[in-house]
Chain A
Amino acid sequence: MQRPVFLNLMQIQMPVGALTSITHRITGVLLALGIPGGVYLLDLSLQSPETFESVVRLFQRWSFRVVVIVFVWALAHHLLAGIRHLLSDVDIGSQLPASRRAAWIANIGGVVIALAAAGAWL
């Protein structure tokens, strides 16, 4: 069945809530892809004192910390956008103006948390 498709990127409107929504998806997929890496690090950290030390050394590496900061951003955004969903479930911020404000808070809050982590750590 043919359905109309409108994909003119110059004309598609992207309100702030839509940006929060698609970023919630993208960060969710990114975090899911990160699960095996996280489990691998947990495995290494618990095997032996030597492998534990290798994980500690990994976290001291600047290049690895950059990767961690990206995941901090993804997690921070995903949590804030998720909290926005949970609150609107119980009718807090479900009206459009408040919903837009909450979307801004999630988008900017995620970046602020990542920058704070980078500033404290890099």
Chain B
Amino acid sequence: MKRALSGLRALLVQRVSAIYMLVFIVFLLAHFLFNPPASYVAWRAWIMGPVVGIAIPVFFAALLAHAWVGVRDVILDYIRPAALRFAALALLGLGLMGIGAWVIRILWPGRG
């Protein structure tokens, strides 16, 4: 089996996604502290806006990649029996892909 996200590359994915999410979370926190969404219309407009409309999909891509590498490491460390380990990894992968599809449907309702 080819290990697509092993070693140095997984480490790099973890760090790049971490830095992006860190910046995004600080930005999100500042926005909610100083300019919280006052209504459904304002909230929707903000989410779908030109900058946030790109920053949010990128955030979820970073989050799902980060969760994959992180939880995969935990599974590989603690689950020894091969069948159980494979099942856990498969469940994690399917779960994260499902969440990705869900996020796409939320952000682009017409096309999902």
Contacts and interface: CB of A to CB of B under 8 A. Distances in A.
A52 B63 CA distance: 24
Contacts of A82: 18, 22
In terms of DSSP, what is the predominant structure of the interface of chain A? Answer: helix
Contacts of A35: 63, 67, 99
Contact of A46 (B47, B67, B70, B74): B47
B19 interface: yes
Max count, chain B CB within 10 A of own CB: residue among A32, A36, A79: A32
A83 B23 CA distance: 12
B102 interface: yes
B109 to A, nearest CB: 8
A36 B63 CA distance: 12
Interface residues of B, number: 20
A32 B67 CA distance: 6
A58 interface: no
Given A43-B102, A46-B44, A89-B15, A25 B74 contact: yes
Contact of A28 (B19, B41, B74): B74
A48 to B, nearest CB: 7
B70 A28 contact: yes
Given A49-B40, A79-B25, A86 B70 contact: no
Nearest to A32: B67
A52 B15 CA distance: 34
B18 A39 contact: no
Interface string A25-55: 1001101100110010011011011001100
B70 A32 contact: yes
Contact of B71 (A28, A52, A83, A86): A28
Given A28-B74, A35-B63, A43 B106 contact: yes
Nearest to B63: A35
Interface string B68-107: 0011001000000000000000000000000100110010
15 contacts: A25-B74, A28-B70, A28-B71, A28-B74, A39-B106, A42-B103, A42-B106, A43-B102, A45-B40, A46-B43, A46-B106, A53-B40, A75-B25, A79-B22, A82-B18
